[in-house]
């Protein structure tokens, strides 16, 4: 036994020495692995992994040359992240394939002396930022009696949304026939009662009790349309979503059209009915607003309009998502978990390389000038108007995505050499201020612009 052990000692010693040498020489590699070492230029990997601002949360990056398809850098590119509003790029892709050149404003049939109409999800009727009078003028001038049919639609709020966002402009309720963007606008002046638009809601607006304060200019009751405004030293403008219902819609239509509107339960159009669609605004007017300022309501309604193209029985977001994934997005590197149109849901999950693959598909299918004009532009407009630019002009066009503790960026970067790069830069679970994360991302991508 002892003889056998002594005979094996040289081998054991060799193994110990080899292990020691491997550990000594591989220490740096192990440290880099623990920092989620990326694949690509060492200078870029060091820039990201050595950043104190980026070290304490989950970071994923994917950079690809748009023309050649060459992968230039990847860091956690195959891991899933909460994408926030970068999901609106998926909604854009759905719209591009399903909607055509114009929005479907409403659908209708004529029966004798009556016009029966129902919604397609078009959000632009008297909308404050993307206003359309197509449906308004059509309904106001028709000689028939008007009857609204409430087509089945998704729930007012999407799966995985924050319930306590109901009071804020970025979270209006979804619906089949929106009017006024499903929000009430308040125009406040110091010491005065605010102007209310539409004026229909004036009777349910009241001043806060003396001495009451709030971080918000207006608070709405959780379950009803009762609005309270708070005193402010300066002039202000605010939007607050209202609770929706078929009966409220009927009242709002009557109030603005100045003519009676009946309300009927939903019934499928008969085979002999000639179902017609009223064309609305050009699609780019909605895409541009949705992407540049990251309008959640427009994104959600976009998927409902896509649903209206698939049939006349209901408006269903999930039906659109299933179809687009099955018919147009089977070649993505990783299957996205896609549950809503806006990215408000925490259930959405996407990898950085899948977002870059989507950017490449968009660039292949949409002329570059049109595509870039739809996106926020660094130093120009939208959510990037104060970042990603210098004296030579804009060098990044894209879509931001921000939720509490998450900030992402997805878009196209033009380098000093003229290369166009598709970039996805995702930050999840950070506790630093979003503004600080944004500054660090701009510093990193600024180097990418200079050196790639």
Q: Which strands form 276-282's sheet, in the order they lie side by side?
A: 261-264, 145-149, 114-119, 102-111, 276-282
Q: What is the mean pLDDT of the chain?
A: 92
**Half-sphere exposure (Cβ direction) of 396: Cα atoms closer than 13 Å:** 30
Instruction: State the CATH number of the domain containing residue 405.
Output: 3.40.710.10
- Is residue 418 domain-shared with residue 290, that is, in the same domain? no
Q: Which residues of 80-107 are buried (b: 16+ CB within 10 A; e: fewer)?
A: bbbbbbbbbbbbbbbbbbbbeebbbbbb
Is 197's pLDDT higher than 60? Answer: yes
Tally of CA atoms within 13 A in the half-sphere of 336 that contains its CB = 34
For residue 334, tell me if it sits in a domain. Answer: no
300 with 374, same domain: the answer is no
Structural domain contains residue 163: yes
Q: State how far the Cα of 452 lies from the Cα of 446, in Å rounded to an integer.
A: 10
pLDDT at residue 21 is higher than 50: no
Name the H helices within 375-421: none
Query: Taking a C-beta distance cutoff of 8 angstroms, is the pair 37, 49 a contact?
Result: yes
Angle CA(314)–CA(108)–CA(295) in degrees, nearest 5? Answer: 55
Q: Report how far apart, in Å, the C-alpha atoms of 93 and of each of 83, 330, 359 are.
A: 16, 13, 10
Residues with Cβ within 8 Å of residue 248, at least 6 apart in sequence: 225, 242
pLDDT of 37 reads: 64
354 and 415 belong to one structural domain: yes
Burial (Cβ within 10 Å: 0-12, 13-18, ≥19) of residue 330: exposed
188 with 256, same domain: the answer is yes
Q: What's the number of domains the chain is made of?
A: 2
DSSP secondary structure code for residue 119 in this structure: E
What is the predicted pLDDT for the residue at 259? 97
Q: Which is more confidently placed, 26 or 109?
A: 109
- CA-CA distance, 132 to 80, in Å (whole number)? 39
- Which conformational region is residue 152 in: left (phi greater than 0), alpha (psi within -120 to 50 degrees), or beta? beta
pLDDT interval class at 2 (50, 70, 90)? very low
Residue 226 covered by a domain: yes
Alpha-carbon span 398 to 55, nearest angstrom: 24
Same-domain status, 133 and 275: yes
Supply 364's token pair: 């292949």
Tokens of 393: 């002009």
Residue 245 lies in a domain: yes
Which residues neighbour 288 within 8 Å (Cβ) at sequence distance 6 or greater?
A: 373, 374
In a domain, 30, yes or no: no
In this structure, what are the phi and psi dihedrals at residue 370, rounded to the nearest 5 degrees? -65, -45
Residues 45 and 152 both lie in one domain: no
Q: Tokens 């709030």 sit at which residue?
A: 214
The packing angle between helices 134-141 and 246-257, to 10°, is 70
Please give the average per-residue pLDDT across 12-41, as a whole number. 48
Q: What is the pLDDT of residues 356-383, one digit of tens each?
A: 999 999 999 999 999 999 999 999 999 9
Domain membership of residue 24 (yes or no) is no
Look at residue 406 in the predicted model and tell me its pLDDT.
98
- In this structure, are 103 and 195 located in the same domain? yes
The predicted structure's pLDDT at residue 28: 42
* 73 and 121 co-located in one domain: no
For 429, which DSSP code?
A: S
Last residue within a domain, chosen from 307, 334, 357? 307
* 10 SS3 class: helix
254 plus 179 within the same structural domain: yes
- CA atoms of 384 and 398, how far apart (whole Å): 8
Instruction: Pick the last residue of a domain from 307, 329, 361.
Output: 307
Rounded Cα–Cα distance for residues 427 and 412 (Å): 18
Length of the chain counted residue by residue: 452
Range of the domain at 401: 40-83+349-451
Collapsing DSSP to helix, strand or coil, 152 comes out as coil
Lowest mean pLDDT of 3-17, 133-147, 234-248, 329-343, name the range.
3-17
Predicted pLDDT of residue 48: 96
Query: Binning pLDDT at 50, 70 and 90, where does residue 336 land?
Result: very high
Is 258 inside a domain boundary? yes
pLDDT (0 to 100) of residue 391: 85
Residue 335 three-state SS: coil
Quick check: 170 pLDDT over 60? yes
**What percentage of the chain has pLDDT greater than the value 90?**
86
- The alpha carbon of 152 is separated from its chain's Cα centroid by a whole number of angstroms, namely 24
Please compute the mean of the pLDDT values over residues 222-233 and round it to a whole number: 94
Q: What is the pLDDT of residue 8?
A: 47
- The first and second tokens of residue 131, run together, are 């206003």
Q: What is the mean pLDDT of residues 31-52?
A: 78
State residue 15's pLDDT score.
41
Considering the domain boundaries, does residue 326 fall inside one? no
DSSP 337: B
Q: Are 177 and 146 in contact (CB under 8 A)?
A: no
Quick one: 207 and 291 in the same domain? yes
Question: Taking the mean position of all CA atoms in its chain, how far away is CA 219?
Answer: 25
Give yes or no: residues 78 and 132 share one domain: no
Whether 76 and 97 map to the same domain: the answer is no
Residue 80 has pLDDT above 60, yes or no: yes
Domain stop point among 244, 279, 307: 307
* pLDDT surpassing 50 at residue 417: yes
């Amino acid at each position: 036994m002892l003889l056998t052990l002594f005979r094996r000692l040289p081998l054991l010693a060799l193994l110990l020495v080899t292990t020691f040498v491997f550990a000594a020489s591989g220490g740096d590699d192990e440290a880099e692995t623990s920092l989620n070492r990326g694949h690509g230029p060492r200078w870029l990997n060091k820039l990201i992994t050595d950043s104190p601002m980026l070290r304490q949360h989950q970071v994923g990056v994917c950079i690809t040359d748009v023309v050649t398809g060459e992968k230039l850098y990847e860091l956690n590119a195959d891991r899933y992240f909460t994408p926030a509003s970068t999901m609106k790029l998926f909604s854009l892709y759905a719209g591009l394939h399903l909607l055509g050149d114009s929005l479907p404003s409403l659908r209708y049939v004529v029966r004798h002396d009556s016009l029966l109409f129902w919604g397609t999800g078009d959000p632009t009727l008297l909308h404050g930022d993307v206003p359309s009078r197509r449906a308004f003028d059509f309904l106001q001038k028709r000689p028939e009696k008007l009857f609204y049919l409430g087509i089945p639609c998704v729930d007012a709020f999407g799966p995985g949304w924050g319930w306590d966002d109901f009071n804020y402009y970025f979270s209006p309720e979804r619906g089949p026939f929106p009017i006024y963007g499903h929000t009430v606008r308040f125009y406040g002046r110091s010491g005065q009662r605010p102007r209310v638009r539409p004026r229909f809601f004036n009777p349910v607006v009241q001043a806060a009790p003396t001495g009451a304060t709030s971080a918000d200019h207006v608070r709405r009751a959780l379950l009803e349309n009762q609005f309270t405004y708070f005193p402010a030293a300066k002039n202000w403008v605010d939007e607050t979503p209202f609770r929706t219902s078929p009966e409220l819609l009927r009242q709002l239509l009557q109030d603005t059209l100045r003519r009676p509107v009946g309300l009927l339960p939903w019934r499928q159009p008969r085979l002999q009915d000639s179902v017609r669609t009223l064309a609305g605004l050009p699609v780019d007017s909605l895409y541009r607003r949705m992407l540049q300022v990251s309008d959640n309501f427009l994104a959600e309604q976009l998927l409902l309009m896509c649903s209206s193209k698939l049939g006349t029985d209901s408006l269903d977001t999930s039906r659109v998502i299933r179809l687009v994934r099955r018919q147009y997005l089977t070649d993505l590197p990783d299957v996205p978990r896609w549950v809503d149109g806006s990215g408000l849901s925490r259930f959405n999950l996407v990898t950085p390389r899948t977002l870059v693959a989507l950017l490449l598909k968009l660039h292949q299918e949409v002329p570059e000038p049109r595509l870039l004009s739809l996106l926020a532009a660094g130093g120009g407009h939208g959510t990037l108007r104060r970042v990603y630019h210098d004296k030579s002009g804009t060098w990044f066009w894209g879509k931001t995505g921000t939720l509490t503790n998450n900030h992402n960026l997805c878009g196209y970067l033009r380098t000093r050499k003229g290369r166009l790069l598709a970039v996805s830069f995702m930050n999840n679970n950070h506790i630093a201020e979003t503004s600080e994360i944004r500054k660090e991302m701009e510093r990193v991508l600024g180097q990418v612009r200079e050196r790639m």
